[in-house]
């Protein structure tokens, strides 16, 4: 089905429950649909749902080559648990080498633009390569995750490199409590970093545990003020708000 035709179905799709959306994505787009996850709790729930109702859906992640050891071990756990192979997209070796030679391994400490550049090389560009392989991008975005995500649609048509694709956030209106309840009731494997105080999980060093009164993404890039250069967008890597460069 042509992507242009999906514009007229947005109202219908936005009214679907999460499982129905996953079934729709698989039945209508097959291997051109994929769950993109960094193995935070929401992505784990979506992966579990898909294993139950649309087991053919691809599961895709970006391996920045700087993920916590716990996340790498957890990805192996997920593969064993569901009998699947996670597709891992990594940074371009030459682009990564050039960045490290020019700016050093810890450039993300130097300035916000350099942190965004590091995210662009390690995360945004591999994600863009992965997106070229799909027409349906299934994400774990939720409106309660941060101020900048409060207006996220459940289903939308977005532009990626001058191409329209469907972006689905099946659990967009779920709360953290809803996610935890599903994990407990369905015995879903989850990233052990949550038991260590993490509420948002990304690269090591760039992600830290949070305190009970803090924003869920406060643990991202703690050396920058939360309102630095653009409010909530300062706590985004660029995948969902557009990239940055040097």
- Closest by CA to 113, choosing from 232, 229, 239, is 229
Tally Cβ neighbours within 10 Å of residue 185: 8
Among 44, 118, 203, 237, which one carries the catalytic annotation?
237
DSSP 135: S
242 in the Ramachandran plot: left (φ > 0), alpha (ψ -120 to 50) or beta?
left
Burial of residue 84 (number of CB atoms within 10 Å: 0-12, 13-18, 19+): middle
Distance of CA 63 to the CA centre of its chain: 11
Q: Which residue has the tokens 């700087």?
A: 66
What DSSP designation does 220 have? B
Is residue 203 flagged as an active site residue?
Answer: no
> Any bridge partners for residue 88, and if so which?
61
Which active-site residues does the annotation give?
237
């Amino acid at each position: 089905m042509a992507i242009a035709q999906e514009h007229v179905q947005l109202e219908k799709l936005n009214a679907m429950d999460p499982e129905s959306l996953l079934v729709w994505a698989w039945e209508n787009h097959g291997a051109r649909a994929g769950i993109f996850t960094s193995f935070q709790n929401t992505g784990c729930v979506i992966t579990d749902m898909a294993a139950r109702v649309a087991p053919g859906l691809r599961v895709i992640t970006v391996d920045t080559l700087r993920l916590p050891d716990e996340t790498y071990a957890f990805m192996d756990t997920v593969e064993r648990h569901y009998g699947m192979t996670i597709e891992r997209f990594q940074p371009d070796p030459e682009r990564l080498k050039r960045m490290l030679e020019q700016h050093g391994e810890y450039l993300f400490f130097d300035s916000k633009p350099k942190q965004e550049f590091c995210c662009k090389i390690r995360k945004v560009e591999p994600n863009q390569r992965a997106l070229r392989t799909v027409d349906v991008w299934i994400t774990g975005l939720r409106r309660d995750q941060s101020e900048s995500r409060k207006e996220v649609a459940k289903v939308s048509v977005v532009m990626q490199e001058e191409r329209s694709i469907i972006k689905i956030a099946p659990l967009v209106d779920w709360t953290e409590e809803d996610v935890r309840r599903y994990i407990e009731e369905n015995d879903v494997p989850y990233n052990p970093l949550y038991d260590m105080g993490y509420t948002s999980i990304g690269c090591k060093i760039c992600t830290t545990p949070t305190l009970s009164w803090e924003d869920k993404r406060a643990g991202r890039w703690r050396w920058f003020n939360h309102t630095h250069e653009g409010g909530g967008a300062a706590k985004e890597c660029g995948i969902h708000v557009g990239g940055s460069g040097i």
